[in-house]
Each structure stands twice: as C-alpha cells, then as structure tokens.
Structure 1
Amino acid sequence: MDRIKLRNQLGKYRTPYEEEAAFIADFAELTADPLAYKRERLEGHFTASSWIVNHERTHTLLTLHRKLGRWLQLGGHADGNENLMEVALQEASEESGLTSLRLVDLTIFDIDKHIIPERPHVPQHFHFDVRYLLEADINEPLQMSDESISLAWIAFDSVVDMIGYNPSILRMLEKTSKSEILL
C-alpha cells in the first residue's frame, strides 16, 4: 500500500472508539510527508504492527518488548517502506518466526498515536501505528527475536492480567471479541 492508498483507507476508516477517531485526521495528513515513513522524522513517524490471533479467536500473540519493558503486539518502523501492510507482515514474521501468518483483511484493523519516551540519542516522539489483523497457527513453534524478552500466546481472558491497563491493546481485544469476521 503506497501513501495514496493509505490516505484513501484512512479517509474511509471509521471507528466507534473516540480516542481512536480523534487522530484519524492526523494520520491522513501525515501520509503526504515522504519523511513520515522514516524514523529520522523526529517529531513522529509511521510504524506498522499486527494484532495476531489464533484461528479460534481465543488467544493473541504478544511480545514483552525489550526496550519498553511492556507486553505489546508485534510490529516496527516502516524504515522508508510506504506499504505499511507489508511492514506489519514482515515485522510479525521476523519477531515470531511464524510461517503460518495470514492477513485476515486488507483493510486497517486499528490505528494508534502514542508517545515514545526519550532515550539516549533519540528524543521523545510519536509513533503513528497502523495495525492489521493476522491469524496464525497457535501450535507452530515460536522463534523469539532479539527485540523481545519474551513471546507468548495469551488467552483473551488473561490479557488484562498480563498487560495491565493499555487502552490501545484493550481496544484491539474488544474489536476481536466483537468481530463478525468468519472463522
């Protein structure tokens, strides 16, 4: 998906979640900036991630992120690639080792604008994260990358206990639970 397709998808994107709806326009505006797909744009840039679920929609795959020390969905920086769906799939594969990953839908599943804290040589900045829904075989062995402390399939009813309060993840969990997508 190039930046024009992304902008068109964002123009059609609708959500009942106020916190998510509040930044759709910010995402659409950012698509016009070619630097927005590179982490060198220090005020903020695009990232892409995957909300990975098993076929039965009972578990999600989360990673304990090494730099942030929090349980999150798999994903990463676009690094110049304007096809964020491709970025999400590549990051999911690299961070999990899964070969059974399957894109459930060609449309955006969720978006989130969140702040990344300052680190040495990197100022505080925003991630404009575009998320896609993927399925994978829960029985396939996982291969953890260097970016993770841990990687695990978490039962939907245990996600809150595992991650605490993270409105972005809770929103994706709720979307999956209410989803009318056929299994």
Structure 2
Amino acid sequence: MPDIVPVTAPAVPSPTAEAYADLHADACAVLTGWTPTGAAADAARDSTLDLLAAGPVAMSRGHRAGHVTASALVLDPTGGRVLLCLHGKFRKWVQLGGHCEPGDRTLAGAALREATEESGIAGLAIDPVPIDVDIHPVGCQGGSLHYDVRFAVFAPAGATERVSAESAALGWFPPDRLPEPLADGTVQLVAPALAALARRSAG
C-alpha cells in the first residue's frame, strides 16, 4: 500500500479578519500619523498600535484581548454645548460611540455612524483627526478592553436629538459644567474638541 500523504488545506482568512481589513489599515495609518493631544493619549496610541499588530481581528468585539472602538464628542455650532448620553448599562454620562462594524471602512466613519445612530441627528460632520485615545476595561466577552479612538463631531444649527435604545437619556451641557455621574475620560475630550471646532471655523 502506498504511503498516505496528508494534504494540508490552504489557509483561509477568517470572515472577521477579511471584513475588517480596510478599517484595520485605516486605523494603523491614522494612529501612526497622529500627533497625540497629551501624554496619556500618547501612551494609549502606542498601546493601540501594539494591539493592531494582531491584525484586522483587533477591530472586532470578539477579540478578547481587546478591540478598537470609535467615539465622538458632539458639539453645537458655537461650541457652547456638548451632547452626552446617559448610558443605559452603566448609568453614567458619556460621549457617543461604540463598537466598529464590518461595514465601517474608516475610524472616523465608524465614529460618525455611531454618533448619528445614538443621537438621531442628521447632517453631523466629523473632523477626521482624532482628539484622544483612551483604554478602559469593559464587560465584552466576559471582560476585555476598549482601545477607544475619539473624534470631534459638529451638529448643524437647530439639531434635534432623539434617544436611541442604547441610552437612557440625551442632553446638551455647557462644556465647563458637565453632568454627574460622568464617565472617566469624557472631560478630557472638551479642550481638544473645542480646538478642532476653532480650526474648522477658521478654515
């Protein structure tokens, strides 16, 4: 009887990795070229790039070691108010945002999609340059980390918000008088978001 030679099937990319390939490439490019807004953001950016070395799977919520998310601080046209949501699960006020999805192609696009879905506001505009990166523990997959890339988003004049299923409430607040209880890491978004609005207005 001739020897039986096992045949090894060629490696097939997982659907998850394939679905997040474009988004992963964008995240690597954006964070590599980004000038951090502070020392903590600098360290978080470096840690996020280390996470991204795992490949596109690092963009998926199924990656137990941690995954990249996208969020947005929404400002009104004057910068006199910011929009926050009272999160339905952990009952703190926080900027809008969440998990990336397979249909997302850029981090800024993911943040804008999340902001639109959670605010119900049409016509939002985003500054594609991040204003912060923050790493924090979450309950995903029984315990994981969010490597959250944050952006400034600008609402049109006269915008009317609509509470989504993920929020207990939405509210506009002066940037120097944010509500309590406030999620860790939200207050640090105010200064760079207002700077982004100033650049937009000047342009």
**Same fold by TM-score, threshold 0.5 exceeded?**
yes
Q: Equivalences for 1:1-183 in 2 at 5 Å?
A: 2-32=23-53, 33-80=55-102, 81-103=104-126, 105-116=127-138, 118=139, 122-137=141-156, 139-159=158-178, 162-163=179-180, 166=183, 168-179=185-196, 180-183=198-201
Deviation at 1:164, TM superposition (A): 5.0
Larger CA deviation: 106-115 vs 11-20: 11-20
Tell me, in whole angstroms, the C-alpha distance in 2 between the residues paired with 1:181 and 1:138: 18
Does structure 1 retain, via aligned residues, the 8 Å contact 2:26–2:107? no
2:13 counterpart residue number: none
2: CA distance, partners of 1:38 / 1:79: 8
8 Å contact 1:37–1:82 — kept in the other structure? no
Counterpart contact for 2:120–2:163, Cα < 8 Å: yes
- How many pairs are equivalent? 177
**1:27-51 CA deviation, whole Å, 9 max, x = no partner?**
1122342111111111211111111
Q: Give the Cα separation in 1 of the matches to 2:66 and 2:25.
A: 19
TM-score (norm 2): 0.78
Letter in 2 for 1:27: T
Structure 1 portions without partners, runs of 5+: none
Asked whether the equivalents of residues 151 and 193 of structure 2 are also in contact (C-alpha less than 8 Å), the reply is no
| Contact kept in structure 2, 1:96 and 1:151, CA below 8 Å | yes
When the two structures are superposed, what TM-score results if normalisation uses the length of structure 1?
Answer: 0.86
- The aligned amino acid for 2:165 is D
Higher strand share: 1
Gaps (5+ residues) in structure 2? 1-21
- Once the two structures are TM-superposed, the CA of residue 151 in structure 1 deviates from its matched residue by 0.3
| RMSD between aligned residues | 2.0
Measured in 1, the distance between the counterparts of 2:37 and 2:148 equals: 18
* Structure possessing the higher radius of gyration over alpha carbons: 2
- C-alpha distance 114-138 of structure 1, shift in aligned 2 (>3 A): farther
